[in-house]
């Protein structure tokens, strides 16, 4: 199995007797196709040498935040951006406490703070330390912040005590690592995604539209393909290349998008409405280009005037009528697919997003704040909150592609739960 093919994993090793198992973990992650770089805390080097990890990974091991040699190979921010996943195994009680507090007093905690990728921890410590209320509170906060926990396991510990706190077995850590990435999560599913803006004609040369670039929808289409799904992408006009292995259907207006969706929705298991569909369109687009000279003037009744004699600007009134609500129509179908909407808001983000979840009868809504130009329309990054009827999970700001992986994983989990799968 090469489930981690092309994946970059930053393996963090902290101080504890289980650190010796990180050498085996590194090899098994490589076997699964991952490129692994290792970061060790000073405590970890008391249990296993950096030379061992360097020889196995074939890459320099990073130890210190202020080490000019390793910084010159790859700076710590660059290292954090390089990773598709930071996996800390074993994660000591001390490390978890520092991570919970957002400390940046060594290289590993600093990398976690700078990371935009998912972070997973595999705790290993004495059973009393694990069950201590302080550790449990730290873990509760970390889980709420989206940190994935792999274990710990229960059983006989190196100290001779028995209880929960053992590092999870290496094959289990590798399996859970592969589940962070969407590969195979949507195998056998057909997913329809709408993306980009729509254009609503005023006349043959003018239209009403919005700033959607299609980047988020296209990134989701790529992530869904990687997750094993068959993907139909219904796209408004954008300047992006068609993603590979996706069936792309180009449309212009909301009416065309509605027709394209409805024509094929019966074959779909999942519908994701990322498109910024224009809510309104002109009632009657002019059949020919509207000539401003022919518009009535507010100041001068009588013959049409030329530009020089105009003292007051002319006005043009457009009558608009509501477009079909595509996603609400999909959600009303008797055999509806799992239906996921997006909510682009500039204020009251979560309140409005929850209203959309209810009013449009969605399974999930992904809220994004488009008032922040660094994470909204046309940006490369997004900051999103995944909202279902009973949970609200905020994802860290990351590239639209990385965010898409997380959204696809969430959709797969919710769909499995809805279908009653384990």
**Nearest distance in Å: CB 225, ligand PMT:** 17
**Nearest distance in Å: CB 287, ligand PMT:** 25
What are the residues whose beta carbons fall under 8 Å from the beta carbon of 390, sequence distance 6 or more? Answer: none
108 binds ligand PMT (CB under 6 A): no
Q: Cα–Cα distance between 149 and 122 in angstroms, integer?
A: 6
Q: Which residue is nearest to ligand PMT (CB)?
A: 273
Instruction: Please say if 268 is a catalytic residue.
Output: no
Q: Are 111 and 38 in contact (CB under 8 A)?
A: no
Q: What is the DSSP string of 284-316?
A: S--SSPPPGGGSPPSS--SS---GGG--S----
23 binds ligand PMT (CB under 6 A): no
Q: Please choose, from the candidates 197, 195, 179, the residue with its C-alpha nearest in 3D space to the C-alpha of residue 231.
A: 195
Which one of 326, 349, 407, 411 is in contact with ligand PMT (CB under 6 A)?
326
Q: Cα–Cα distance between 378 and 381 in angstroms, integer?
A: 9
Phi then psi for 156, rounded to 5 degrees? -70, 130
SS3 annotation, 114-174 = HCCCCEEEEECCCHHHHHCHHHHHHHHHHHHCCCEECCCEEEECCCCCEEEEECCCHHHHH
254 binds ligand PMT (CB under 6 A): yes
Q: Are 165 and 130 in contact (CB under 8 A)?
A: yes
**Nearest distance in Å: CB 326, ligand PMT:** 3
281 binds ligand PMT (CB under 6 A): no
Which one of 212, 235, 369, 402 is in contact with ligand PMT (CB under 6 A)?
212
Phi then psi for 376, rounded to 5 degrees? -120, -130
Q: Cα–Cα distance between 272 and 107 in angstroms, integer?
A: 39
Q: Find the catalytic residue in 112, 139, 159, 268.
A: 159
Which one of 61, 112, 260, 275 is in contact with ligand PMT (CB under 6 A)?
275
383 binds ligand PMT (CB under 6 A): no
Which 140-199 residues touch ligand PMT, going by CB under 6 A? 194, 196
List, in sequence order, every residue forming a beta bridge with 156; answer none if it has no partner: 162
What are the residues whose beta carbons fall under 8 Å from the beta carbon of 404, sequence distance 6 or more? Answer: 216, 219, 220, 222, 223, 224
**Nearest distance in Å: CB 389, ligand PMT:** 17
Which of helix, strand or coil describes residue 56?
helix
Which one of 57, 127, 323, 402 is in contact with ligand PMT (CB under 6 A)?
323
370 binds ligand PMT (CB under 6 A): yes
Tell me the torsion sign for CA atoms 58, 63, 64, 69. negative
Which one of 6, 355, 378, 392 is in contact with ligand PMT (CB under 6 A)?
378
Which one of 327, 331, 386, 408 is in contact with ligand PMT (CB under 6 A)?
327
375 binds ligand PMT (CB under 6 A): no
Closer Cβ to ligand PMT, 37 or 400, answer by number: 400
Binding part of the chain for ligand PMT, among 13-21, 40-48, 274-282, 286-294 by CB under 6 A, reads 274-282
Which one of 377, 396, 399, 413 is in contact with ligand PMT (CB under 6 A)?
377
Structure tokens at 60: 């320099």
342 binds ligand PMT (CB under 6 A): yes
Would you please indicate which residues are annotated as catalytic (active-site) residues? 159
Chain positions contacting ligand PMT, by CB under 6 A: 194, 196, 212-217, 254, 273-277, 279, 323, 325-327, 341-344, 356, 368, 370, 376-378
């Amino acid at each position: 199995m090469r489930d981690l093919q092309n994946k970059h994993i930053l393996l963090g090793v902290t101080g504890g007797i289980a650190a010796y198992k990180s050498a085996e973990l590194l090899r098994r992650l490589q076997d699964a196709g991952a490129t692994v770089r290792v970061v060790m805390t000073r405590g970890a080097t008391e249990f296993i040498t950096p030379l061992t990890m360097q020889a196995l990974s074939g890459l320099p091991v990073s130890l210190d935040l202020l080490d000019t040699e390793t910084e010159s190979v790859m700076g710590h921010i660059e290292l954090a951006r390089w990773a598709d996943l930071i996996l800390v195994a074993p994660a000591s009680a001390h490390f978890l406490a520092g991570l919970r507090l957002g400390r940046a007093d060594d290289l590993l905690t600093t990398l976690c703070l700078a990371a935009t990728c998912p972070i997973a921890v595999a705790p290993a410590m004495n059973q009393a330390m694990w069950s201590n209320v302080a550790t449990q509170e730290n873990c509760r906060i970390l889980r709420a912040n989206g940190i994935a926990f792999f274990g710990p396991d229960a059983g006989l510990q190196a100290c001779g005590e028995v209880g929960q706190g053992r590092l999870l077995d290496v094959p289990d850590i590798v399996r859970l690592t592969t589940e962070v990435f969407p590969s195979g999560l949507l195998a056998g599913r057909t997913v329809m995604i709408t993306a980009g803006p729509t254009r609503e004609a005023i006349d043959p040369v003018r239209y009403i539209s919005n700033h959607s670039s299609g980047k988020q929808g296209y990134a989701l289409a790529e992530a869904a393909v990687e997750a094993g799904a068959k993907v139909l992408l219904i796209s408004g006009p954008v300047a992006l290349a068609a993603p590979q292995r996706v069936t792309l259907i180009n449309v212009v207006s909301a009416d065309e998008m509605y027709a394209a969706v409805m024509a094929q929705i019966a074959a779909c298991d999942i519908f994701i409405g990322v498109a910024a569909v224009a809510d309104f369109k002109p009632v009657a687009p002019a059949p020919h280009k509207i000539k401003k000279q022919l518009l009535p003037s507010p100041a001068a009744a009588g013959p049409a005037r030329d530009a020089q004699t105009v003292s007051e600007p002319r006005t043009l009134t457009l009558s608009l009528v509501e477009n079909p609500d595509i996603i609400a129509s999909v959600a009303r179908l008797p055999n509806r697919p799992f239906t996921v909407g997006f909510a682009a808001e500039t204020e009251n983000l979560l309140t409005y997003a929850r209203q959309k979840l209810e009013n449009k009868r969605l399974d999930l809504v992904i809220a994004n704040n488009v008032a922040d130009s660094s994470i909204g329309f046309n940006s490369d990054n997004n900051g999103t909150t995944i909202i279902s009827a009973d949970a609200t999970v905020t994802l860290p700001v990351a590239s639209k592609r990385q965010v898409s992986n997380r959204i696809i994983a969430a959709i797969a989990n919710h769909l499995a739960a809805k279908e009653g799968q384990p």
